[in-house]
Amino acid sequence: MRQLQVRIIDPRLGSTWPLPEYATAGSAGMDLRACIDQVLELQPGETALIPSGMALHLDDPQLAAVLLPRSGLGHKQGLVLGNLVGLIDSDYQGQVQISCWNRGGGVIRIEPGQRIAQLVVVPVVQVSLEVVEQFEPSDRAEGGIGHTGSH
């Protein structure tokens, strides 16, 4: 397992609340917590930028980190990310901020220390663009969205 350097910004992280970790051997993401001082009531349609309490530095251009909603909160309460997916580049060193959006119809209460998002580290392949006149034919070609059918 690779190591990822993190800097603790909120001293409650790692003492009052555990550091992010994988819940199981098969987990892809580590849960991030709301490092806030008091309950936040997120009204329907409202967004808030919530600190994670830590900064990270991937320090490898072949890696990026993505922030994703926790599926239970998104499905049951409507708490998703304001930017849908957060992207953290390998050279970023600042605090991870979680943009939360209440897309549901009721108020969502976010408690201090509550797990509100997950962090997934993914490989990155940087490419250069090659301008061509046409592509080699493929089975799909320019079929568009839904072209392959619904079944």
> Tokens 């072209």 belong to which residue?
147
pLDDT tens sequence across 91-134: 999 999 999 999 999 999 999 999 999 999 999 999 999 999 99
pLDDT tens sequence across 67-96: 999 877 777 778 888 888 999 999 999 999
Residue 53, pLDDT above cutoff 80: yes
Which domains does the chain possess? 5-123 (2.70.40.10)
9 is in an annotated binding site: no
Residue 21, pLDDT above cutoff 70: yes
Identify which of 66, 38, 59 has the alpha carbon closest to the alpha carbon of residue 50. 38
DSSP state of 74: H
103 is in an annotated binding site: no
Q: Residue 68, Cβ neighbours under 10 Å: how many?
A: 18
- Using CA atoms, how far apart are residues 92 and 117, in angstroms rounded to an integer? 19
What pTM was estimated for this model as a whole?
Answer: 0.86
84 is in an annotated binding site: no
83 is in an annotated binding site: yes
- Using CA atoms, how far apart are residues 24 and 71, in angstroms rounded to an integer? 16
Q: What is the largest CA-CA distance in the chain?
A: 59
102 is in an annotated binding site: no
